[in-house]
């Protein structure tokens, strides 16, 4: 086997020295990479492996099967944690308040999930007496940064290993290793699958033809959202109610955040909403293309942003856009634990205290459009604003005076420039 043995000269202080790896907490998904890792770590380090599988609401997982597979491959302990509520309350709620997207519409579901997965790894590693955390990220992505930055920040006493980054096995070699070591491989191993990551807030696909920028999406990549051309011919209007910045009702029915996001995703999926074909600047230097399916975010973020703009003043709205972007970038860049992020959250909470009301969205064949708005806190009142000419706070007769002062500097600069060019022309 051409797998490289563990490197004994770590580059970073948080990387494990192989001689000191005795009990490893492995972030285990049940897929090929982490199953090969489970065997490979036991063999290469002569270490015990404890497996942790985290449920962040990725659809279609059978956790009993994953756990049985881990035990079969020699894990000394297995933990499956349902972290959906914690993910929704501690990570997605602040993301909603920050209208969090990166680039041209990536709502950061992976970037938000990784710090929680790594935080849970730290908690379970400590609980089960592990000295090292192992993850299945490659050396080319952002996820290694998010996970290792979290472990290094929260648990300086723990070390990490990233076998997929260092062992230099390609997919073919991994499959050969799996066959040799009795690791079950599901599906036809002949076709390289897309690289998928998903949770409550969305799903990404990478690899195969997606890397060819001239290749339009093949139909089989859409496993979550109905392709818009197959979506119902009838539009659907859905209302989302918010209290203090968080969605609390869906079509008038009150529910917890996890249920609401699952419900919103189901409606969005049916109408082909939330497909994003994205070229992305990774923090590790590469540009990549991802196909995202983000039905829940497409509904909830559209509604939240609309309501927030309705209750905010022009000054708050302009200022917050910049902070939203900063927040999204910190999270994308793996700096969830950076104090600046929580500083910004304090502002997000202050603004969102007013974000209460209801937004109606019309969904039709891949499109989502705001059609109704209501809020007790809307900085909008036709009577108050005096549009009816009957007086009120807004005085049309004050407008000319305002315009004179508002345009004063522009007018002066214009005059000066004209004079300058006339003088120069003489």
Catalytic one among 86, 195, 270, 289?
195
Indicate which single residue of 55, 128, 195, 317 sits in contact with ligand ARG (rule: CB under 6 A).
195
110 forms part of the interface with ligand ARG (CB under 6 A): yes
Minimal distance in Å, beta carbon 195 to ligand ARG? 5
Q: How far apart are CA 108 and CA 87, in angstroms?
A: 13
143 forms part of the interface with ligand ARG (CB under 6 A): yes
Minimal distance in Å, beta carbon 287 to ligand ARG? 11
Output 103 or 386, the one with its CB closest to ligand ARG. Answer: 103
Assess whether 143 carries a catalytic annotation.
yes
Output 197 or 293, the one with its CB closest to ligand ARG. Answer: 197
Assess whether 8 carries a catalytic annotation.
no
290 forms part of the interface with ligand ARG (CB under 6 A): yes
Q: For every residue of the chain, which 3-state class applies, written as one string?
A: CCCCCCCCCCCCCCECCHHHCCEEEEECCCCHHHHHHHHHHHHHHCCEEEEEEEECCCCCCCHHHHHHHHHHCCCCEEEEEECHHHHHHHHHHHHHHCCCCECCCECCHHHHHHHHHHHHHHHHHHHCCCCEEECCCCCCCCHHHHHHHHHHHHCCCCEEECHHHHCCCCHHHHHHHHHHCCCCCCCCCCCCCCEEEEECCEEEEECHHHHCCCCCCCHHHCCCCCCHHHCCCCCEEEEEEEECCEEEEECCEECCHHHHHHHHHHHHHHCCCCEEEEEEECCCCCEEEEEEECHHHHHHHHHHHHHHHHHCCHHHHHHHHHHHHHHHHHHHCCCCCCHHHHHHHHHHHHHHCCCCEEEEEEEECCEEEEEEEECCCCCCCCCCCCCCCCCCCCCHHHHHHHHHHHCHHHHHHHHHHHHHHHHHHC
Minimal distance in Å, beta carbon 57 to ligand ARG? 15
CA 279 to chain centre: 15
> CA-based Rg of the chain, rounded to a whole angstrom?
26
Output 280 or 308, the one with its CB closest to ligand ARG. Answer: 280
Minimal distance in Å, beta carbon 146 to ligand ARG? 8
Q: Where does this chain touch ligand ARG (CB under 6 A) — which range of 5-13, 91-99, 138-146, 170-178?
A: 138-146
Q: Where does this chain touch ligand ARG (CB under 6 A) — which range of 136-144, 162-170, 318-326, 405-413?
A: 136-144
Indicate which single residue of 123, 131, 206, 243 sits in contact with ligand ARG (rule: CB under 6 A).
206
Assess whether 33 carries a catalytic annotation.
yes
* Of 349, 305, 338, 197, residue with least CA distance to 329: 338
Catalytic one among 143, 197, 198, 290?
143
204 forms part of the interface with ligand ARG (CB under 6 A): yes
15 forms part of the interface with ligand ARG (CB under 6 A): no
33 forms part of the interface with ligand ARG (CB under 6 A): no
CA 109 to chain centre: 2
Minimal distance in Å, beta carbon 317 to ligand ARG? 27
197 forms part of the interface with ligand ARG (CB under 6 A): yes
144 forms part of the interface with ligand ARG (CB under 6 A): no
Q: How far apart are CA 200 and CA 85, in angstroms?
A: 10
132 forms part of the interface with ligand ARG (CB under 6 A): no
Q: Where does this chain touch ligand ARG (CB under 6 A) — which range of 141-149, 214-222, 311-319, 343-351?
A: 141-149
Assess whether 233 carries a catalytic annotation.
no
Indicate which single residue of 36, 73, 88, 111 sits in contact with ligand ARG (rule: CB under 6 A).
111
Q: Where does this chain touch ligand ARG (CB under 6 A) — which range of 17-25, 27-35, 36-44, 140-148?
A: 140-148
Q: How far apart are CA 311 and CA 233, in angstroms?
A: 34
Catalytic one among 84, 114, 159, 309?
114
Minimal distance in Å, beta carbon 34 to ligand ARG? 12
Minimal distance in Å, beta carbon 148 to ligand ARG? 14
Interface positions, 41-60, toward ligand ARG (CB under 6 A) = none
* Of 160, 159, 156, 179, residue with least CA distance to 169: 179
Indicate which single residue of 262, 280, 308, 324 sits in contact with ligand ARG (rule: CB under 6 A).
280
Number of residues counted as binding ligand ARG (CB under 6 A): 11
Q: How far apart are CA 149 and CA 33, in angstroms?
A: 21
142 forms part of the interface with ligand ARG (CB under 6 A): yes
Catalogue the active-site residues.
33, 114, 143, 195
Binding site for ligand ARG (CB under 6 A): 110-111, 141-143, 195, 197, 204, 206, 280, 290
């Amino acid at each position: 086997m051409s797998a490289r043995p563990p490197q004994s000269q770590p580059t970073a202080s948080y990387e494990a020295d192989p001689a000191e790896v005795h009990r490893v907490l492995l972030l285990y998904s049940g897929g090929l990479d982490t199953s090969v890792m489970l065997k490979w770590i036991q063999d290469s380090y002569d270490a015990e492996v404890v497996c942790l599988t985290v449920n962040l609401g990725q659809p279609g997982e059978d956790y009993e099967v994953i756990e049985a597979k881990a035990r079969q491959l020699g894990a000394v302990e297995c933990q499956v944690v349902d972290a959906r509520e914690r993910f929704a309350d501690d990570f997605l709620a602040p993301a909603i308040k920050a209208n969090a997207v990166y680039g041209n519409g990536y709502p950061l579901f992976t970037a938000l999930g990784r710090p929680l997965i790594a935080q849970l790894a730290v908690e379970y590693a400590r609980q089960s007496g592990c000295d090292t955390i192992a993850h299945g990220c490659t050396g080319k992505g952002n996820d290694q940064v998010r996970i290792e930055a979290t472990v290094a920040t929260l648990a300086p006493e723990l070390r990490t290993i990233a076998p997929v980054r260092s062992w230099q096995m390609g997919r073919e070699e991994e499959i050969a290793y799996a066959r040799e070591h009795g690791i079950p491989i599901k599906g036809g191993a002949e076709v390289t699958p897309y690289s998928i990551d998903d949770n409550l807030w969305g799903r990404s696909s990478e690899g195969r033809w997606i890397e060819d920028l001239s290749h339009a999406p093949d139909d089989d990549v859409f496993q979550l959202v109905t392709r818009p051309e197959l979506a119902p011919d009838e539009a659907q209007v859905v209302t989302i109610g918010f209290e203090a910045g968080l969605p609390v009702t869906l079509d008038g029915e009150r529910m917890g955040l996890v249920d609401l996001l699952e419900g919103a995703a189901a409606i969005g999926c049916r109408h082909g909403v939330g497909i994003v074909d994205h070229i992305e600047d990774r923090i590790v230097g590469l540009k990549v293309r991802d196909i995202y399916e983000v039905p829940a975010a497409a509904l909830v973020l559209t509604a939240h942003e609309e309501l927030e703009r309705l209750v905010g003043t022009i000054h708050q709205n302009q200022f917050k856009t910049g902070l939203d972007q900063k927040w999204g970038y910190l999270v994308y860049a793996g700096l969830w634990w950076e104090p600046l992020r929580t500083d910004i959250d304090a502002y997000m909470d202050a603004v969102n205290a007013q974000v209460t009301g209801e937004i109606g969205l019309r969904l039709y064949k891949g499109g989502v459009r705001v059609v109704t708005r209501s809020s007790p806190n809307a900085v909008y009142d036709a009577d108050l604003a005096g549009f009816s000419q009957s007086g009120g706070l807004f005085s049309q007769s004050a407008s000319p005076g305002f315009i004179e002062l508002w345009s004063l500097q522009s007018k002066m600069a214009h005059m000066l420039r004209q004079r300058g060019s006339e003088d120069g022309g003489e």
